[in-house]
Structure 1
Amino acid sequence: MTSFTSCPDCMGLGKQKRRIKKSLRLRYLLELEQFEKANGEGTPPIRPEASLYICPTCAGSGLVSSLDFPKPDKENYPHVAIIGGGIGGTALAVACLHRGIPFTLYERDKAFDERSQGYGLTLQQASKAMEGFGIFDLDKGVVSTRHLVHNPDGKVVAEWGMRKWMQGSTKTSPKKTNIHIARQSLRQALIQQLGSDTTIQWGHQLLDFKDNKDGGIDLNFQVNGKVKTDKADLIVGADGIRSAVRSLLISEKRSPLRYLGCIVILGICPLSALENMNSHLLDSATVFQTANGNERIYMMPYDSDSIMWQLSFPMTEEDAKTLSTKGKKALKEEAIQRTQWHSPIPEILSATLETQISGYPVYDRALLRSEWLENSGKATLIGDAAHPMSPFKGQGANQALLDALSLARTIFKACRPPSNWREKGIRESVLTAFESEMIERSSVKVQDSALAAQFLHSEIALYEGNEPRGKVLKRKGKL
């Protein structure tokens, strides 16, 4: 495996600033002088800002290959305690590793595959960001090139994607590429960057944490029935929608789980179980969805040999909880009963083993606010712990990956010598700026995902137009 370290030319940011033209600098100075002579009357001149360009040394990844990973710089950088070994937490650990930032990654599960985590993800803007973690090729990822929307009879009401666009001469192939990958495959690719999963502290359930007299943090864990205490300079909650770190920083009363009015049932079906099916929808490069204004099913490649389906429909919170606790058999029966639609939907659901089915009510939380964290001292949140959202825009994992990269880059830039971050405090030096960027970037995704939970189960889902359903609303000025 290739080792990586931070690019020295862009300081791991992937971009460099162009020099501001001398003529622009001189014009600004002249306008500033005239403004000051006028005793501040009129409009003040705007200081020119340097534009950014992709770093040619690292091609925008922020990393360069090296013989070995950099050794942790314990003298200059804070020791980061990462709580949660899912996508966001593992990604943050990898980003810290590449930059010589000391870290410890804690996960409450006792092993990688202790819990079933068999659903798929779609990497959108984060597909490019994967290079920032030293992952330039996802072997188990599948690229989709066509997206279809049907009504229950199988009529196509919308189509978009590379294969559609390349048929005409008015549109060119898009730059963005969606990569579909199993969550555990992506997680494993990140763990491989760490060297092995032995770098993760498995079986560590966080109990609490508090500042110590040395200026750091004491963290208390329950491990094999005993209490264990570790130390760190910064704690990052990457422990999901029911985050233990969040509950210690932000009361549940202030920011409770918010039910979004629907339930999701997930399943994974191997293509080998559909041997007699000859459908163009099962080519491992097509994403399709079918809706009737209430129920909606979404199907995408899980890997080159399987397809994942996601059925969702409105239901009261009490009924959704009841159905999810009845078990896999009941979930499968409910899904089949609600989707007697066009082929190959009934065949796929019937061929899906009960062991590959799960279901849960859909929740998010109110938008995270900076003031909720301003008194959090040496602690922050990323991923679902910070901004949980519905799965209907496919943004949860994308935002978690972007959070991890942003936080590691901010630590690396803000804490290098001679920053005096210990005297200023980690919040002033790092966390305030990071949280501001994270909240601004992710809030619109939370809002759009919540709205999608409504409009995907309405007549809007059946609008005839070759564009994603959210774009229909935005174009009509309703979103």
Structure 2
Amino acid sequence: MKTSKQNKLHWTMCLECQGLGKKKRRIRKQDRLRYQKALVVFNKSDGQGKPPTPLKHSLYPCEKCNGSGIIPSATQPIPDTDNYPHIAIIGGGIGGVALAVACLHRNIPFTLYERDHNFDARSQGYGLTLQQASKAMSGFGILELDAGIISTRHVVHTTDGTVIGEWGFRKWMQTDSQNKGKKTNVHIPRQSLRLALLDQLPSHNDVQWGHKLIDFKINEGEKTELNFQVDGQIIKTYADLVVGADGIRSTVRKLLIGEDHSPLRYLDCIVILGICPLKNLKGIESDLLDSATVFQTANGNERIYMMPFSSDSIMWQLSFPMAENDAKLLSSQGSKALKKEACKRTLWHNPIPQIMEATNESQISGYPVYDRALLTDEELSQERQITLLGDAAHPMSPFKGQGANQALLDALSLARGITKGCKWSSDWKENGIREQVLTEFEAEMLARSTSKVKDSAAAAKFLHSEIVLLKDDAPRGSTLKKNDK
């Protein structure tokens, strides 16, 4: 297993903001008086007209922790088993490890279970782009992503190389527009981000590797019983709360809701992915290969997206419509067939054909693209001690780059919710953790992620249509919205 060079620090919850990263601003006296007067007038009108809007505390970042919710500590946090429930986290991907880290910093006891036998057991995907979650990384004690690359330019081409869209920091600086303040995206290999999160734990051995969840049993008023298959044997364990962070084919979701009730939904396209070392592109000169440019090329059917994977390699994602059975067949034929198909479909402008040809077959994979129907509060609340996050809760297509971002935000939100609902009150033991934590967490998660799921599904269609060819210096989703008005 590779190790991170990042300096390891201990972190603990900021008591100033109770780990939330934000504090409530006091409501001004004049605003309270104005509201009270308006309420008196409304009550005297026998309910006629519109009632005054209740006052809400505005929030501002906590100065002590700079909005992260955690502060440096001289010692490793110790699990607080008196005040907190014990969390069983199922799945050691991005979302599961992030939740473990967020719990660790807040003294919340947890056990992280992963069915793989070790970190390198299988590929955990290719590269990902941190958008909203980039700011949230400090909430996990990660101040710098050594493997992260910031893109400063994004270009869209037709297949002959004509530029039909360009945006990013470099263009904004040139045009001196009001867009200068926009945030940049961070591109990072999925495994590098996962490793950075794992390095926050006292040891990678804190993960219970090789644990495949078989089933769980909830005893009323008691802990949830979980059964794992480990080295051919069934191991039984218990937890106060079970969190399914085990991906789009989540076992926890299947046991909780049922596969038939919420099956995989095919999005009518296939994705082929590859990673090409820049050293393989000898003699190829292009400003698109400066390790700070993201570019995509499309023809209304096929679409390729290329982004920096590391300082010395580039990742590509080719997608196109295909019948589900054909997509399954192609992906099952392996990397050689996938590369042949990708090269055949991308005889476009330089340096695309060269990149495709120079990509080693061992660095190519492909899969049909799926999501699932949106969950409802009622479906999630079927059990009082079970919840989901990340792809287990709201799987989405890769075309908006939101999967990992939403999983990270889910993890931070749940850990903060557990702190808020349990740390300062023992009511969770009497009322149940659903009433104290899960109902509010799930409502926030679904409200935040719903638009991302819908937009990602829509992108699977419009990125492979004529819409993608419209001239506009903005992401193709923005172009679609402009034309819908």
**TM-score, length of structure 1 as denominator length:** 0.98
Q: What secondary structure does 1:427 align onto?
A: helix
Report how far residue 213 of structure 1 moved. 6.2
User: Alignment partner for residue 133 of structure 1, among 132, 140, 150?
Assistant: 140
User: Alignment partner for residue 260 of structure 1, among 264, 267, 275?
Assistant: 267
Report how far residue 267 of structure 1 moved. 0.3
Which residue is equivalent to 1:361?
A: 368
- Higher mean C-alpha displacement, 59-68 vs 85-94: 59-68
Task: Please tell me whether residue 394 in structure 1 is matched to residue 384 in structure 2.
Answer: no
Report how far residue 172 of structure 1 moved. 4.2
The separation in 2 between residues aligned to 1:106 and 1:183, in whole angstroms, is 19
In structure 1, give the amino acid aligned to 2:103. Answer: C
Which residue is equivalent to 1:344?
A: 351
- Pairwise mapping of residues 175-186 of structure 1 onto structure 2 (< 5 A)? 175-186=182-193
Which residue is equivalent to 2:122?
A: 115
Which residue is equivalent to 1:63?
A: 70
Which residue is equivalent to 1:203?
A: 210
- Pairwise mapping of residues 308-323 of structure 1 onto structure 2 (< 5 A)? 308-323=315-330
In structure 1, give the amino acid aligned to 2:368. Answer: P
Q: What secondary structure does 1:193 align onto?
A: coil
The separation in 2 between residues aligned to 1:375 and 1:330, in whole angstroms, is 44
Change beyond 3 A, Cα 1:198–1:165: same
Which residue is equivalent to 2:168?
A: 161
Which residue is equivalent to 1:11?
A: 18
Count the aligned residue pairs.
478
Which residue is equivalent to 1:232?
A: 239
Which residue is equivalent to 1:283?
A: 290
**TM-score, length of structure 2 as denominator length:** 0.97
Report how far residue 270 of structure 1 moved. 0.6
User: Alignment partner for residue 426 of structure 1, among 427, 433, 436?
Assistant: 433
User: Alignment partner for residue 91 of structure 1, among 98, 115, 122?
Assistant: 98
| 8 Å CA contact retained: 1:107, 1:205 | yes
Task: Please tell me whether residue 145 in structure 1 is matched to residue 139 in structure 2.
Answer: no
Task: Please tell me whether residue 334 in structure 1 is matched to residue 334 in structure 2.
Answer: no
Report how far residue 46 of structure 1 moved. 2.3
- Higher mean C-alpha displacement, 40-49 vs 356-365: 40-49
Report how far residue 468 of structure 1 moved. 0.6
Q: What secondary structure does 2:65 align onto?
A: coil
Report how far residue 373 of structure 1 moved. 1.5
Report how far residue 419 of structure 1 moved. 4.1
In structure 1, give the amino acid aligned to 2:277. Answer: P
Which residue is equivalent to 2:49?
A: 42
Report how far residue 24 of structure 1 moved. 1.0
The separation in 1 between residues aligned to 2:295 and 2:49, in whole angstroms, is 57
The separation in 2 between residues aligned to 1:319 and 1:418, in whole angstroms, is 55
User: Alignment partner for residue 466 of structure 2, among 443, 446, 459?
Assistant: 459
Q: Deviations over 1:398-422 (max 9, x none)?
A: 0000000000000010112324111
Q: Structure 1 stretches of 5 or more lacking a match? A: none
Report how far residue 260 of structure 1 moved. 0.3
The separation in 1 between residues aligned to 2:214 and 2:125, in whole angstroms, is 28
Which residue is equivalent to 1:441?
A: 448
| 8 Å CA contact retained: 1:120, 1:182 | yes
| 8 Å CA contact retained: 2:218, 2:224 | yes
The separation in 2 between residues aligned to 1:28 and 1:125, in whole angstroms, is 35
The separation in 2 between residues aligned to 1:360 and 1:51, in whole angstroms, is 45
The separation in 1 between residues aligned to 2:50 and 2:391, in whole angstroms, is 43
| 8 Å CA contact retained: 1:383, 1:399 | yes
| 8 Å CA contact retained: 2:269, 2:324 | yes
| 8 Å CA contact retained: 2:13, 2:70 | yes
Q: What secondary structure does 2:275 align onto?
A: strand
In structure 2, give the amino acid aligned to 1:88. Answer: G
| 8 Å CA contact retained: 2:102, 2:415 | yes
| 8 Å CA contact retained: 1:125, 1:176 | no
The separation in 1 between residues aligned to 2:283 and 2:112, in whole angstroms, is 46
> Structure 1: which 4+ aligned runs deviate by more than 4 Å?
none
Which residue is equivalent to 2:257?
A: 250
The separation in 1 between residues aligned to 2:410 and 2:170, in whole angstroms, is 32
In structure 1, give the amino acid aligned to 2:171. Answer: K
Change beyond 3 A, Cα 1:61–1:344: same
Q: What root-mean-square deviation, in Å, do the aligned CA atoms of Structure 1 and Structure 2 show?
A: 1.2
| 8 Å CA contact retained: 2:83, 2:426 | no
Change beyond 3 A, Cα 1:438–1:118: closer
The separation in 1 between residues aligned to 2:452 and 2:329, in whole angstroms, is 29
Q: Deviations over 1:43-85 (max 9, x none)?
A: 3222211111111111111111111232111011010000000
Q: Structure 2 stretches of 5 or more lacking a match? A: 1-7
The separation in 2 between residues aligned to 1:32 and 1:457, in whole angstroms, is 54
Percent same amino acid at aligned positions? 66
Q: What secondary structure does 2:395 align onto?
A: coil
- Higher mean C-alpha displacement, 235-244 vs 409-418: 409-418
The separation in 1 between residues aligned to 2:242 and 2:473, in whole angstroms, is 45
In structure 2, give the amino acid aligned to 1:385. Answer: A
User: Alignment partner for residue 51 of structure 1, among 58, 62, 66?
Assistant: 58
The separation in 1 between residues aligned to 2:184 and 2:176, in whole angstroms, is 20
Q: What secondary structure does 2:159 align onto?
A: coil
| 8 Å CA contact retained: 2:269, 2:368 | yes
| 8 Å CA contact retained: 1:127, 1:177 | no
Which residue is equivalent to 1:294?
A: 301
The separation in 1 between residues aligned to 2:410 and 2:20, in whole angstroms, is 14
- Higher mean C-alpha displacement, 319-328 vs 247-256: 247-256
